[in-house]
Amino acid sequence: MALLALLVGLAALGLSGWQWSQSQQEAEARQLQLDNQLTELRNAQRQEQRSAEQRLAGLPTEDEWQQLQRLTADLQRSQQALSQRLETLQGDARADWKLAEAEYLLRLASLRLIAAQDVASAQELLDAVDHILQAQPDSGVFAVREQLARYQSELEAQPIVDRSGLYLRLAALHDQVANLTALPVPVFDPNEVTPEEEFEDRLARRTRGERLLMRLERYVRVDFQRGKVITPLLDEAEMQRIRRTLQLTLEQAQWAVLRGEGDIYRDSLERAGAMLEQFFEVDNPQVQAMGNRLKQLAEQRITITTPDMSPLQQTLAAYIQSRKTPASSGENADE
């Protein structure tokens, strides 16, 4: 029993030693693992420290930082000044475009007055020019607007010439020519006694002295209608040519209305009235109405005295040039 107890004790002691040995090995393994982890952490810490030192070394110093702040402030001020300059240039460009438009509209108004004497269109164009000049901020435009106002007043005082209305009235008369009544053509009467036959009959019934006196009367003629136009008898074809000539005369008057040629207009209407009296039945109501209408139209005024707008154009051009001169001087100063 004692031997058995000894063997059991030795076995227990051996088992305890083996367990302690295993525990010791595991502890050493864990310690080694911890040492490795600690080494890795130290290495990572040293690497992070070196990286932080490098980053800190790349940062500017206090003087460099203040200089960088000053440069940043200067850059911001330069950008702000550049933006303001750009806005100013854009505003000047828009103003220059509007002034160029005003100059073009003014030339167009002058052309309308010279070529067509179109007062209404010229007034509208001058109103547009005044609207553009009103938007200019400087005081130099005051002289231009003052001169422009005088021209606007002159145009408002001009009489109204209804060119389109006159043209349409002449067109209506042109269409009525085909329906006018011409002078009647005498019908041949075989029983009518001619002046020669009447003279021979009277001569046969006179005495010798009376016949001698009647023969002498044939060499002396007293004309109480001297200067009166004697209208020859016209056939249908010739009358058609007369109507066409009258229509062409009215068309000439129409073109004179559109072109503002007062002398040609009145001369055409006078010739049309003369043709109407010479070749058509003046007692006919339609012919009389056309004659009265021609006289009324001849009294209408188709031309006006338009003002010369070249001084206003020169004033506007001088104002535009005065705007460009200070801008050029400022750019040279900046350079």
> Up-side HSE of residue 248: CA atoms within 13 Å toward CB?
6
Domains in the chain, number? 2
CATH number of the CATH domain containing 149:
1.20.120
Q: What's the alpha-carbon Rg for the chain, to the nearest Å?
A: 59
> Up-side HSE of residue 169: CA atoms within 13 Å toward CB?
18
| Same domain for 320 and 263 | no
Q: Looking at the domain assignment, is residue 113 inside a domain?
A: yes
| Same domain for 176 and 268 | yes
Contacts of 201 (CB under 8 A, 6+ apart): 193
Give the range among 26-35, 171-180, 245-254, 257-266 with minimum mean pLDDT. 26-35
Structure tokens belonging to residue 87: 């806005």
Q: How many angstroms from the chain centroid is the CA of residue 277?
A: 48
pLDDT digits (tens, 9 = 90+) for 156-206: 988 878 888 899 999 999 999 988 887 765 554 455 545 555 556 565 656
| Same domain for 170 and 297 | yes
Residue labelled with tokens 């475009």: 97
User: What pLDDT does residue 173 have?
Assistant: 94
Q: Looking at the domain assignment, is residue 45 inside a domain?
A: no
Residue 213 clears pLDDT 70, i.e. is over it: no
Q: Looking at the domain assignment, is residue 201 inside a domain?
A: no
Q: Looking at the domain assignment, is residue 292 inside a domain?
A: yes
| Same domain for 330 and 253 | no
| Same domain for 142 and 178 | no
Distance CA 288, CA 272 (A): 13
| Same domain for 289 and 244 | yes
63 sits in which H/E element: helix 62-115
User: What pLDDT does residue 333 have?
Assistant: 44
Domain range spanning residue 266? 162-183+234-303
pLDDT digits (tens, 9 = 90+) for 37-50: 888 888 888 888 88
The candidate with the shortest Cα–Cα distance to 99, out of 127, 125, 124, 130, is 130
pLDDT digits (tens, 9 = 90+) for 103-162: 999 999 999 888 777 888 899 999 999 999 998 877 888 999 999 999 999 999 888 788
Q: What is the DSSP letter of 158?
A: S
| Same domain for 268 and 326 | no
| Same domain for 170 and 291 | yes
Q: Looking at the domain assignment, is residue 123 inside a domain?
A: yes
pTM for the full predicted model? 0.51
> What single string gives the DSSP state of each residue in 112-140?
HHHHT--HHHHHHHHHHHHHHHHT--STT
User: What pLDDT does residue 193 have?
Assistant: 47
Q: Looking at the domain assignment, is residue 178 inside a domain?
A: yes
Q: Looking at the domain assignment, is residue 207 inside a domain?
A: no
Which range has highest mean pLDDT (36-45, 180-189, 208-217, 294-303)? Answer: 294-303
